[in-house]
Amino acid sequence: MSDTAALKQEKQALIDKMLEMQKQFIAYEHQHGVTGKDYWASSEGLLVDYRQEYMDMANRVVDLAHEIVGSSRD
């Protein structure tokens, strides 16, 4: 597998995980409701690290996309 293929595979795996996280969040929101405090400062359950984990994955997807095409974020 080429480096580009491996990068594309990693990017797709992250996107798939992000989509699954979104589905879980929506289901959680429908069952429990989500306040701003829950989203920004939850100390338990699904939302504890949700924002940070999702943001880290989203940033990695952007970095991978740039790496695949040979550009940079700068």
Q: Tell me: the pLDDT tens digits for 23-56?
A: 999 999 999 999 988 888 888 888 999 999 999 9
**pTM score, whole prediction:** 0.85
- Residue 43: what pLDDT? 87
- Are the CB atoms for 39 and 31 separated by under 8 Å? no
- Residue 36: what pLDDT? 87
Radius of gyration of the chain, Cα coordinates, nearest whole angstrom:
15
Residue 68 tokens read as 């695949």
Q: Tell me: the pLDDT tens digits for 4-31?
A: 999 999 999 999 999 999 999 999 999 9
